Structure 1
Amino acid sequence: MQTENRFFDDLAKFINGAAGTLAGMGREAEAAARERTKEWIGGLDFVSRDEFDAVKAMAAAARDEGDALKARVAALEAALAASATAEPAPRKTKK
């Protein structure tokens, strides 16, 4: 035979309600902490992966262009040095 004890039923309902409330508060606290963290990190000077990769690609292209320009200057300097050491062509004089 089962006895009905209203006190234990009410206590169980109260504990279940408190547990649900605490779980909801925990979820809200986690969401708020997550949002604050996003705001804090967003305020820092971080760049996204896409921006980083774009700048990295531009730097590589600029480096390649710089190397090509160095090679071109070296070739022009070599040609200038070769023409300076060669005998100058005789000048035509007016009569």
Structure 2
Amino acid sequence: MQSDNPRISDLTRMFTAAAGTFAGMAQETAEGARERFKEAMVGLDFVSREEFEAVKEMAAKAREENEKLAARIALLESDVEPAAAKKAAARKSPPAA
């Protein structure tokens, strides 16, 4: 139903203009907040997924290498300990007369 009253038409135009203004303000506010959020995130020094995956792979390789070296050291120490024990025993025993 449309009215011929000019005051109602003026109010309708005013409310329509106000609604458009509020929608524009809301959009500008959202864009401003989005920009501030992006600026804050840049300052936090996040890494990209590719960089994270590369470092993760390097850490896994280093862990494997560390485990191999630990096993090798244990093997070498097991070979050295019996020989050291024999030398210590030989020093403690009196010489044969």
Normalising by structure 2, report the TM-score: 0.71
2:46 is aligned to 46
Q: Shift of residue 70 of structure 1?
A: 1.1
Q: Superposition RMSD on alpha carbons, in Å?
A: 2.3
1:61 aligns with 2:61: yes
Secondary structure of the corresponding residue to residue 62 of structure 1: helix
Correspondence list, 1:13-92, <5 A: 13-81=13-81, 85=86
Shifted more, 32-41 versus 56-65: the winner is: 56-65
Distance 1:7 1:23, change over 3 A: same
Distance 1:61 1:26, change over 3 A: same
Q: Shift of residue 30 of structure 1?
A: 0.3
Between 1 and 2, higher relative CO (CA 8 Å, sep ≥ 6) is seen in 2
Q: Shift of residue 5 of structure 1?
A: 1.2
Distance 1:28 1:55, change over 3 A: same
Question: Alpha-carbon deviations, 1:11-67, whole Å to 9, x = none?
Answer: 101110110111011011101101111111111132233322322221121111100
Normalising by structure 1, report the TM-score: 0.72
2:5 is aligned to 5
CA distance in 1, matches of 2:10, 2:3: 15
Secondary structure of the corresponding residue to residue 41 of structure 2: helix
Q: How many corresponding residue pairs?
A: 85
Q: Shift of residue 3 of structure 1?
A: 5.9
Percent identity, aligned pairs only, is 51
Distance 1:26 1:9, change over 3 A: same
Structure 1, unaligned runs of 5 or more: 86-95
